[in-house]
Chains A and B, each alone.
Chain A
Amino acid sequence: MDNKQDKELIDLALSGERQAFAALTDRYYMTVYRYAFRWVSVREDAEDIAQEVCIKLANSLHTFNWRSAFSTWLYRITANCAKDFLRKHSRWDKNRSPDFPDERLVSQNPGPEARSFHEQIVAAIHVLPEKLKEATLLVFAEELSHKEAARVLGCAEATVSWRIFQAKKTLKKVLS
């Protein structure tokens, strides 16, 4: 998605052009949804989050200041919505089943071997602390560079690298 097109759309939207705003949300819906799905692993929840992000966008588009790419900003909003969602639902949602088996379900299965290594990794992401999870998702799922991830997270590049290191360490412990 090129930045110039974004700029045009956003400027138009800020001048009150509804179609420009509609085009902008349409263009980014899938990005937002996919990233949200990485956070929650349940389709319906990801859809809920994506909708909230879109509405939030309508409210706060004017605060976007072009210090970063639009997508970077969007990652931030999405992550915040996802975290809020998880906090809100963690209280009672212990038993909802994600769209792929997680470690709770695995225990009833023949054993961890029943699942591929990769599936185990993705399931284990959800046990990471929020900050480590966020860094991991940005770097490995969204495939951003450490530098780009640092921009999204609003921290130093070294911090990202450190979080990735910690995340891998934790995952190793969980999976072994």
Chain B
Amino acid sequence: MKISNDDLKRAFQKTAIPEPSEESKKLALQRAADQFATKSPFAEKRCKRIPAFFRHMGKSLARLLTIKGEPIMTRTSFATISVIIIVAGVFLTVGTNMHFFSKREVVITDEKTEIPLTTAEPPPIEETKNRVAAAPDAPKEQPVQGHAVRSVEGELSAPVGRGVAGRGDYDKYSQVSKSPDTTAGKVESGAMMQERVAPSGPVRDISSYYYKDEGRDRFTEIKANQVNLVAEQPVSTFSIDVDTASYGFVRRQLNSGVLPQKNAVRIEEMINYFDYNYALPEDRSKPFAPTVAVYATPWNSNTRILHVGIKGYDIPPAAKPRSNLVFLVDVSGSMNSPDKLPLLKNSLALLVDTLSPEDTVAIVVYAGAAGTVLEPTKINKKGKILAALDRLQAGGSTAGGAGINLAYSLAEMNFDKRAVNRVILATDGDFNVGITNQAELKSYIERKRATGIFLSVLGFGQGNYNDALMQTLAQNGNGTAAYIDTLNEARKVLVDEANATLFTIARDVKIQVEFNPAQVHDYRLIGYETRMLNREDFNNDQVDAGDVGSGATVTALYEITPAAGKEKLIDPLRYNVQTAPEESKAPASMEYGFVKIRYKLPDSDTSTLITQQVGPAQEYNSIGAVPADLRFAASVAAFGQLLRQDPYTRDFTYEDVLSLAGPARSTDPFGLRAEFLNLVRLAKSARGM
């Protein structure tokens, strides 16, 4: 076969090049223009020297820029002058001087700056020459003064996130350029005075040398459940919720000294974060037994708490089904942050450790496009799985939709009817390419759920955390949504509670409580705002609800006002036409209410009913007699309501939460409850934003 020049030319002419999307073109031009306006060397003359203590910052920065020996800077630009732009946010600790430094760029321009910007593999000379082509004449044409600011945008994670509107600002990546031959010098001492420069660029702190977003966390709005009059609405229906994501997010915010936004606080998820010692069911066919109790409300002496708790059957290790897991990992530019991709890799490695040899794992990644990193692989080839995890890197935009498609197709490929088939999505929740429409994603996942492949979501990072989408995905995929802020949390979710995360013992679990108007005047459900169901949904097996994993506990609290109480949350009607209701149902009249729980076994499509009446037998007369676990749950509920500033807690304070929860810590093997107490203390002094 012969290939002529004409063949080659024609081949290219005949290959159509798809048009770039308008959106990405616009974005590229916009970013370049922004870069030009703020960072380019000729836009403004910048300052010259650095104070001595900044040198240290330079070093720590250099360290920061290398994660696990893997250079973030894949390329370096070769000006003879080593330059680091540090915007003054770094010096937050300077406190009162803050205003002086802020909005200023500090430029290290000394030729002998001591910045060991170690890249693990320095590029060979031959290659560096090539690369200089990016700025081919740089060495020769460098401004003589050596004061130019050369910032290399996007060098940290090429390609820069091509994200669409709503993505993080690219300029929050760091800008560092360095010269190959200045890595071992010393900073020339001297006056090191800092010159005032025109304000440009946002204030940054050290962590902003990674991708960072602020104030874009998205949550579904929550309006606290209102008080219902039993006479008007005797029945309350909701779906259980075993997620714990909200607690993780709240903890993270409080640990950084900030109160979480109200919508981030889902009280039921905070309560369900903890494991309670409820009665265990005996066998798998009746997967849980309800525990009910009534006791005095800690924050209101006129009301009582109706406590409903269930603990799922814990599958013994021998009876565990095989797992067919697909990790769907977001490696887009926004994941380039120490609390995201690196944490994610470690978390998934923990999970891999808990699986048994016959389980399979596949890894799919998505950024600008989706790709398979690891075909379904048995756990007995653990090395291969871990190596694949380790190779993941962040960069590019986020085609979450395409990733989901690919992940499901892998799960289907390896589908085993008797196994747990689950896609585990790990992301910061920002889908901006492909299927981005929530409703569309939702229906896609619902359809896949019907085929037996479930979806769980692990959330990472903050600033641009899309909680709303994560909740939608997990709820419709029969999975849990957990928020991973630390490795410790990853251990809790993926090791200690791996069974609950992976193995479903009951699906579509709904709770319905009917109150007895003779005993209860009014009631309100604490939390579960996003999980409310209609009364008729309870008996309708088509209506989806939450799932319970092996060994998981679920708790729901009602605040009820006894009919005999003197002060009520709702005043009785003056023109009440209604007279004594049928007192004829006398036998039940001492009961507060009747709890009904409906669930489906994992392989069944029809539901089963469990009932439990709540009467004086379940009532505790003094709060001291209440089991510690129940008291602890009540204190978490109080804390959640305080954080949300719900109007029902009266003069209950964080101090009161501490004194209620403190003695109720019980065994607390992992220190989770102790941590909770700390969060309450932190909340006392946390800032509003």
Contacts and interface: CB of A to CB of B under 8 A. Distances in A.
Interface of A: 13-16, 18, 21-22, 25-26, 29-30, 33-34, 37-38, 42-52, 54-65, 67, 73, 76-77, 79-81, 84-85, 87-88, 91-96, 99-100, 116-119, 121-122, 136, 140-141, 143, 154, 168, 171-172, 175-176
Contacts of A116: 14
Interface stretch (B91-99, B134-142, B602-610, B635-643): B134-142
A143 B37 CA distance: 35
25 contacts: A18-B36, A43-B20, A44-B162, A44-B399, A45-B369, A48-B368, A51-B31, A51-B159, A52-B158, A55-B28, A56-B135, A58-B36, A59-B39, A59-B135, A60-B138, A63-B135, A63-B138, A76-B133, A80-B131, A81-B134, A81-B159, A85-B159, A92-B392, A140-B5, A140-B9
A87 B131 CA distance: 13
Contact of A59 (B7, B152, B397): B152
Interface in B117-132: 130-131
A98 to B, nearest CB: 10
A79 B130 CA distance: 10
Given A96-B370, A140-B12, A65 B27 contact: no
B626 to A, nearest CB: 54
Given A47-B28, A50-B20, 11 more contacts: A30-B20, A38-B17, A51-B32, A54-B29, A57-B32, A60-B77, A60-B135, A65-B140, A88-B395, A117-B7, A121-B8
B18 A99 contact: yes
A136 B7 CA distance: 12
Given A81-B158, A121-B11, A172-B3, A55 B31 contact: yes
A15 B44 CA distance: 10
Given A60-B135, A96-B369, A16 B43 contact: yes
A55 B137 contact: no
A118 B15 contact: yes
B160 A52 contact: yes
B611 to A, nearest CB: 52
A115 to B, nearest CB: 11
Most buried by B among A18, A48, A62: A48
Most buried by B among A26, A44, A121: A44
B396 interface: yes
B546 interface: no
Most buried by A among B7, B14, B150, B369: B369
A168 B11 CA distance: 13
Given A55-B153, A55-B154, A48 B397 contact: yes
B2 interface: yes
B439 interface: no
A44 B398 CA distance: 11
B20 A33 contact: yes
Nearest to B25: A29
Contacts of A176: 1
Contacts of B620: none
A96 B244 CA distance: 34
Nearest to B396: A48
Most buried by B among A13, A29, A92, A172: A92
B650 interface: no
A172 B3 CA distance: 7
Q: Main secondary structure on chain B at its contact with chain A?
A: loop
A85 B367 CA distance: 13
B662 to A, nearest CB: 49
A98 B373 CA distance: 16
B29 A122 contact: no
A54 B18 contact: no
B365 interface: yes
Nearest to A176: B1
B134 A29 contact: no
A58 B371 contact: no
A27 to B, nearest CB: 10
A29 B23 CA distance: 13
Contacts of A93: 371
A143 B159 contact: no
B74 interface: yes
B137 A63 contact: yes
Contacts of A52: 154, 158-160
Contacts of A43: 18, 20-21
A140 B5 CA distance: 8
A74 to B, nearest CB: 11
Contacts of A63: 135-138, 141-142
A63 B365 CA distance: 37
Contacts of A79: 133
A95 B372 contact: yes
B133 A80 contact: yes
Nearest to B138: A63
B15 A22 contact: no
Contacts of A84: 74-75, 131, 158
Given A96-B370, A141-B12, A47 B135 contact: no
Contacts of B28: 25, 29, 47, 50-51, 54-55
Given A22-B33, A88-B393, A172-B2, A51 B152 contact: no
Nearest to A41: B15
A21 B39 CA distance: 13
B418 interface: no
Nearest to B129: A154
Interface string B415-439: 0000000000000000001000000
A42 B31 contact: no
Contacts of A154: 133, 136
A99 B18 CA distance: 9
A65 B141 contact: yes
A67 B137 CA distance: 10
8 interchain residue pairs of minimum CB distance: A54-B32, A51-B28, A48-B159, A60-B135, A58-B36, A118-B11, A58-B35, A121-B11
Nearest to A67: B137
A140 B158 CA distance: 28
B40 interface: yes
